[in-house]
A and B are shown apart, each in its own frame.
Chain A
Amino acid sequence: MICCIEQFIYKSPTLMRIRLLTRRDASASLLAVGTFLTVLFLSAGVAVNAQQQLSKRYPGGKNVRVELRNISGTIVVESWNKNEIRLTATIESKNAHVVPKQINECLVVDVMGDNRGRGDVGDINFKLQVPANSSVDVETRRGNISVSNIRSGLVRAHVSSEGDIELTNISATHVVAQNVIGNIFFDGEFSSGGTYEFKSTKGDITIRIPGNSAFRLIAASPTKQIKLNDFWNNGFKTQDGRKYVGDVGDGRSSVSVTNFSGSITFLRK
Chain B
Amino acid sequence: MNCEQCQELIHDLIDGSLSQRDESTLNTHLEACLDCDSVRQDLSSIVTYCQMHRGEYEAPPNEQALWLRIRNVIEAETGGRRRAAAQTDTRRPSFVGRLMGHTWELSLAQLASLTAAVVLLVSLTTVIGLRRWGGETVRVAPAYTSNVNDRVWQRNQVINYWNQRVELNKARWSPEMRETFDRNMRVIDEAVANSLNELNRNPHDEVSEQMLNESLNDKLALLKEFSDL
A interface residue numbers (CB < 8 A to B): 71-72, 112, 116, 119-120, 122, 141-142, 160-162, 180-181, 199, 201-202, 220, 222, 239-240, 242-243, 258, 260-261
**A-B residue pair count with CB separations less than 8 angstroms:** 72
Q: Is the CB of A260 within 8 A of B183?
A: no
Interface segment, one of B98-106, B107-115, B219-227: B219-227
Provide 26 A-B residue pairs closer than 8 Å at the C-beta atoms, listed in order of the A residue. A120-B177, A122-B174, A141-B225, A141-B226, A141-B229, A142-B177, A160-B222, A160-B225, A161-B180, A161-B181, A161-B226, A162-B180, A162-B183, A162-B184, A180-B188, A181-B187, A201-B184, A201-B191, A202-B187, A220-B207, A222-B207, A222-B208, A258-B214, A260-B191, A260-B214, A261-B191
- The residue that B174 contacts in the complex, of A120, A199, A220, A260, with Cβ under 8 A, is A120
A222-B207, A260-B191 as given contacts; A116 in contact with B228, CB under 8 Å:
yes
Chain B nearest CB: distance from A201 CB in Å?
A: 5
Interface residue tally for chain B (C-beta within 8 Å): 29
List A contacts of B210 (CB < 8 A): 220, 243
| Chain B interface, >50% SS class | helix
Nearest residue, chain B, Cβ from A243: B207
CA A142 to CA B176, docked complex, whole Å: 10
CA A119 to CA B172, docked complex, whole Å: 6
Nearest residue, chain A, Cβ from B195: A222
CA A142 to CA B184, docked complex, whole Å: 10
Q: Is the CB of A72 within 8 A of B198?
A: no
A239-B207, A243-B207, A258-B214 as given contacts; A181 in contact with B184, CB under 8 Å:
yes
Residues from 192 to 229 in B contacting A, C-beta threshold 8 Å: 194-195, 198, 206-208, 210-211, 214-215, 218, 221-222, 225-226, 228-229
CA A122 to CA B207, docked complex, whole Å: 39
A161-B222, A180-B184, A260-B215 as given contacts; A222 in contact with B194, CB under 8 Å:
yes
B57 interface residue per 8 A CB criterion? no
**Which of B177, B190, B195, B208 has the most chain A CB atoms inside 10 A of its CB?**
B177
